[in-house]
Amino acid sequence: MAIVGFNFDKILVERKKPLKGELKVKNNLDIKSIKEEEMDLGLKQKIIRFEFEFNSKYEPGIADIEILGHILYADSEDKVKKILDDWKKKKDIEIQLKTRLINIALAKSNIKALTLTQDVNLPPHIKLPVVAPKMDKSNYIG
């Protein structure tokens, strides 16, 4: 069970209007489709292409980020067949594999989206760590 490839297929950032008032950012990642492919890894091997879509929507109607990509996954022939059959029947895959794929896609897409937000002068789409001064608790009245 190995990830043998990762690529972005489409990257779009669009700022529609200036930042004003309250801003809400909604992030989403979804596996859109699964396809069988053949890859030459020394010998011909069947692999699975997981296509995903990552979105960040800055609301109300301020900006959108859309990232489409795919992850190439290699495993035994039996495992590949089972994954493809499960997808055809239920449009779902086993939780361990799904979790791994989504975490990989999220990590790479979030980094790409952070760069895109800087390019069009938007605030980050995820909360970043910040440093704050230590509060003096001796003056605290609670």
pLDDT for 28 equals: 96
Give the angle subtended at the CA of 52 by the CAs of 103 and 77, to the nearest 5°.
80
pLDDT for 139 equals: 63
pTM of the model: 0.85
- b/e code 18-48 from CB counts within 10 Å (16+ = b): eeeeeeebeeebebeebeeeeeeeeeebebb
Q: Is 142 exposed, middle or buried (0-12, 13-18, 19+ CB in 10 A)?
A: exposed
The stretch 35-64 carries a mean pLDDT of 90
94-131 per-position pLDDT tens digit: 999 999 999 999 999 999 999 999 999 999 898 888 88
Domain spans, the chain: 2-18+34-125
Task: Compute the distance between CA of residue 44 and CA of residue 60 in angstroms, rounded to an integer.
Answer: 49
77-92 per-position pLDDT tens digit: 899 999 999 999 999 9
